[in-house]
Structure 1
Amino acid sequence: MISANEYFNGTVKSLGYTTANGKSTVGVMEEGDYEFGTSSHETMTVIEGELIAQLPNNAEWKLYKAGESFEIEANARFKVKSVGQTSYLCTYK
């Protein structure tokens, strides 16, 4: 079953699905600043566009471009700044 998710008044939208490898979401976010929380380990891969991320326990921001990924442990919060519209893939463990 495919699930539809919408966050931040519709500026972030994703579709959730499950494969043999587990749960994933693919989505798009408008330009802006966002803070997310995790309930499980998450790997976020930028598909198109750019994200500037501040990962948990890290004061520095890092730029991630198309094809680049970062990981966040379960039960953590992280911030991202989307540079223009950005598409992403999140896989969960």
Structure 2
Amino acid sequence: MDGFKNVSVVKKANVYFGGNVVSRTVRFEDGSVKTLGFMQAGEYTFNTAEAEVMEFMSGELEVDLPDRREPLVINGECTFEVPANSSFSLRVSKPADYCCSFVKNK
């Protein structure tokens, strides 16, 4: 999906890691929430309260996920899931464009 219809966007940006990771919250009519963001090169660790589906549209990075022994290597497009109440770490070598979908009750 290249775009979203019938959504509202929160004007205030979510800014992490000194501005190296920035996202915008998108709310859907059915109550679901996604964030659209961009990561500069760097190393980041995120904690999850809810399960998440991370979709990368571009970038080069390695991701350490709680359910994998080896890092997930991404060069361009990739989608992966992150369990609720966990954390994941990323080592971004080329800027990355992403969409994070929050999954209720998973």
Q: Same fold (TM over 0.5)?
A: yes
* Aligned-residue identity in percent: 31
Regions of 4+ moved over 6 Å: none
Tell me the number of residue pairs that the alignment of Structure 1 and Structure 2 aligns. Answer: 93
Contact 1:46 1:65 in 2 (8 A): no
Q: Which structure is larger by alpha-carbon Rg, 1 or 2?
A: 2
The one of the two structures with greater contact order (alpha-carbon pairs below 8 A, sep at least 6) is 1
Q: TM-score, normalised by structure 2?
A: 0.80
* TM-score, normalization by structure 1: 0.90
CA contact 1:27–1:88 (8 Å) conserved in 2: yes
| Aligned mates of 1:77, 1:23 — CA distance in 2 | 19
Q: Which runs of 5+ in 2 are unaligned?
A: 1-8
RMSD: 1.5
Deviations 1:56-81 (A, max 9, x none): 14331111233310100111011111
Q: 2:88 aligns with which of 71, 75, 78?
A: 78
- Please list every run of 5 or more consecutive structure 1 residues that lacks an aligned counterpart in the other structure: none
Higher strand share: 1
- State the distance in 1 between where 2:34 and 2:60 align: 20
Instruction: Give the counterpart letter for 1:18 in structure 2.
Output: R
